[in-house]
Chains A and B, each alone.
Chain A
Amino acid sequence: MKKYILKRLLMMVLTLFIVATLTFFLMKMIPGSPLGNTMKLTKAQQLAVEKQYGLNKPVWQQYLAYMGGVLHGNFGMSYQYNSTSVASLIGHRVGPSVLISFQALVLGVVVGIVLGCVGALNKGTWADAASSTLAVIGISFPSFILAILLQYYLGFKLGWFPVANWNGFPSTILPTVALSAVPMAQVSRFVRTEMVEVLNSDYILLAKAKGLSVAQVVFHHALKNSIIPALTLIGPLAVTLITGSMVVENIFSVPGIGELFINSVLSNDYPVIMGLTMFYCLLLCGILLLTDVVYGLVDPRILSKEKGEH
């Protein structure tokens, strides 16, 4: 196990290195000066700024300097937020993003499991139809539109929730709800499929043959066996949350890294874009590694059912 984790960590470092290199050269491929679009500067000013950001050196020197910085956790300075380092920018912004993502994850997973179980246990009835419909809508309905609608109707019209300013728990509610729709739908569909399969298995029939009640069969045998495989969902869920948080944060003006990323893209703030790309990459790799480790701890042979990727 230790060897496996070590191997994965090495692979992760390699991945980050490649991603950093690719993003760096990708950014260098953009025609024109990154500063040209946003600020109207005189030639002299432009040269001064270029010197400040080290843009006057040859590309390979810039690359070495950048990678050297990255090794020390220094991702350069933001163009847009004057004289703020990318690292401290991300550091300040990461809190709200993690908060709403985590809340959305908990909400989505809990509601998703309940909906999935209700659907599977009442297969073929109206309850199943209702939970399946909800899941399809959750998967299909774009989260940013949900965010707009929630913001307008619940926030603006009814005034139940704060709309724009980021201030305490109430202002996290609507972003959380908007963000949780897709994970909820993903979890619910997954758990329903698993549970239907588990309920048809011999060991559930045997549990019934032992004289257990329906509730005992579900809670002692079916639930655990349907939920453990859902660990494989964590990777896709992380991607979902990262994607979702960008737009949702943008709409609700949450001061998080998602909003920062979109703003940086819109204003060509390359150092921030590069830094955030690395950060997202690190985050995703870390989550995937963690999932695999947890999956390994719950002995893989217990979960020996071969699963095709969905």
Chain B
Amino acid sequence: MLNLIRKDFLVTYSNKFAFYMLLLLIPLLLFFIDNFDSNTSFMYSVLTFVFISTRTPFAYDMKDKPHLFIQSLPVTKTDIVISKYISIFVNFLIGSIFTTLYISFLSLFNLLDISVLKFSTVIFTLSVSIFLVSISLPAEFMFTPKMSNLINIIIYVIFLNFFIIGDNRILNFINIFSDYRIGIGLILVLLYFSSMVLSIVLYKNRKFY
């Protein structure tokens, strides 16, 4: 399992394009968001980071079909699926560290203020990351790489528009989230594991050519 997570990490970060995307483009995008503050920036950056990191290994499947090679290694399809779901947390952690450091750096120039970054934003971003990846991953295990790529980009764009871009939407959502923490938390746990089981079933029954 750890080897699969490590494999995805190496594949994502050995790709120079993905590397520049993650390190340069995301911070630049922060400047295009209305009501630019540390909380919105954190969420937008980490969510994009998690999305790109999760998608990059699948993007290779479309071009080189390495998923066929990976399946010849001593791993089961269940291992492959579970590793992707665990990677959400690894990618979230890396994305959060990177984004916090970046916001701290911008704070030195008074462009952002790291001190206003709330812990509730971090928890909310983790929850949204789990939600986003849980609804997008089954498509990766069900459809061909091209089709799943298209579906997931559509999900991502809709998602960002719905949650983040707009007048104080994120703050409204964080407030709602704070009021119903336990209920939303339980729904997320249920969604996460249901999505994982669905992906395992889909991947086990998928035909590989």
Check if A and B associate. no
A: residues with CB less than 8 A from B are none
